Amino acid sequence: MAKSFLSFLLFSILVVFYLPLSKAEYNIMSFGAKSNGHTDSTKAFLKAWSSACSSSNEATIYVPSGKFLVGHVQFKGPCKSRVLIKMKGTLLAPSDYKGSGNEWIVFKNIDGLAIQGGTVDGRGQALWKCKESGKNCPHGWRSMLFDHSKNIKIEDLTSVNSKQFHIVIHSTQRVMLRKVTIIAPDESPNTDGISIQKSSDVTVLDANIKTGDDCISMSGGTRNVWAERISCGPGHGISIGSIGKSYNEKGVQNITVKDTVFTGSDNGLRIKAWGRPTTAYVRGVVFENSIMKNVKNPIIINQNYCPHSKNCPNKHSGVTISDISYNNIQGSSKSSVAVKFDCSPANPCKGISLKNIKLTYHGGLAKSSCKYARGKSYGNVNPKSCLT
């Protein structure tokens, strides 16, 4: 807990001093962008980026009100100075889903980037319909990817209807996401809100996420994450994992998730790991101050994860899960089992702590279920703890 707080405090101080004071501004309209929603403005954005990235002074790219159609675009660094993208308008992805690649908007190899305001609309409806029909459909674009970068701040951004993941943080350090809104229908497939992959020192504050998959997911190689004041639902909850899909996958550690509200989500606080040999781990996790409103699985660890029960390895999980704390988790469960720890007999979960848990089922007592889970309970714990 102390390490998580220190990481958060130091990064917050860094962000305060990082806010750019721009001396050069580049309006995308000056580079030929059209705000009518159907004229391709991709080249205009790339020209604006080239000017801002090559500026010796801190620079702003300004996106005024209107709708701007943008195809697949990659903004590459390194840049000579920090760049601010200030948006009032909306970026529209192509409505079809036949574009090549896995990403729509990519930021790569950048040190010092801020994005303020605006909306990105992935227009994923046609792709979701294709997938629902059972046809052979592409995976679809992830709306925004921040790759191999550092010192990134995203504030007051809205992402809607991504074809796949909304915001991906990959191999990136020192990231702040604040007042981000993410919206997609409950039934939209693979529309994770914020996916944190192989990244460190990531802070998420005051986020409102309603989507068809994980609100926030943290996968192998992720460490030092602080998520606070998060509203999630619909969606699959806040998830660590899946972990251990490959043998040499790195672990996840030093995660704090606090002051969260889950409404009608499939899961609340979840850790998921594959049932196969691996060197991966999950350790040093704090879940604190959460309210569950009709959540199917408020607290769950699944060490036998296998989506859709297809190609399951059916082996004992090698993922080491330890030092997991749940404190002050309250509300209602949609299922009778509100706390479920399904761990591996070959590698039991250990060091689980439950403190001040109050979860009900239809206004009455809920249940807990433990398999190969070890830990202790403190204070008032309802449902009655099954930890050994």
Query: Is the separation of the CB atoms in 230 and 207 below 8 Å?
Result: yes
Q: Is the per-residue pLDDT at 13 higher than 50? A: no
Q: Is the per-residue pLDDT at 29 higher than 80? A: yes
Span 31-48, mean pLDDT? 98
Q: What angle do CA 371, 213, 133 make, to 5 degrees?
A: 115
- Residue 166 falls in the annotated catalytic set: no
Q: Is the per-residue pLDDT at 100 higher than 80? A: no
Q: Is the per-residue pLDDT at 367 higher than 50? A: yes
Residue-wise pLDDT for 189-215, tens only, equals 999 999 999 999 999 999 999 999 999
Q: Is the per-residue pLDDT at 266 higher than 90? A: yes
Question: For 307, which DSSP code?
Answer: G
Q: What angle do CA 220, 222, 228 make, to 5 degrees?
A: 130
- For residue 254, is it left (φ>0), alpha (ψ between -120 and 50) or beta? left
pLDDT score of 23: 74
How many H helices and E strands in the chain?
3, 31
Query: Is the separation of the CB atoms in 31 and 70 below 8 Å?
Result: no
The residue type found at 180 is V
Residue-wise pLDDT for 210-231, tens only, equals 999 999 999 999 999 999 999 9
Span 43-55, mean pLDDT? 98
Q: 141 by DSSP, 3-state: which?
A: coil
67: tokens are 């709708």
Q: Which of 13-22, 152-161, 271-280, 283-292 has the lowest mean pLDDT?
A: 13-22
- Report the first-to-last Cα separation within the chain, whole angstroms: 23
How far apart CA 220 and CA 197 sit, in angstroms, is 6
Tell me which of 256 and 306 has the higher pLDDT.
256
Q: What is the DSSP string of 56-76?
A: SS-EEEEE-SSEEE--SEEEE
Span 287-302, mean pLDDT? 98
Query: Is the separation of the CB atoms in 386 and 357 below 8 Å?
Result: no
pLDDT score of 339: 98
How far apart CA 158 and CA 167 sit, in angstroms, is 10
**pLDDT band of 3, cuts 50, 70, 90:** low
Q: Is the per-residue pLDDT at 12 higher than 70? A: no
Q: Which of 47-61, 97-111, 167-181, 323-337 has the lowest mean pLDDT?
A: 97-111
Q: What percent of the chain has pLDDT over 90?
A: 85
Predicted TM-score of the model (pTM): 0.94
94: tokens are 């192509």
Span 65-84, mean pLDDT? 97
Annotated catalytic residue within 72, 166, 236, 308: 236
Domains and CATH numbers, the chain: 24-130+139-196 (2.160.20.10), 214-387 (2.160.20.10)
Residue-wise pLDDT for 75-86, tens only, equals 999 999 999 999
Residue-wise pLDDT for 119-136, tens only, equals 999 999 999 999 999 888
Residue 140 sits at φ, ψ, to 5 deg, of 100, 160
Q: Is the per-residue pLDDT at 233 higher than 60? A: yes
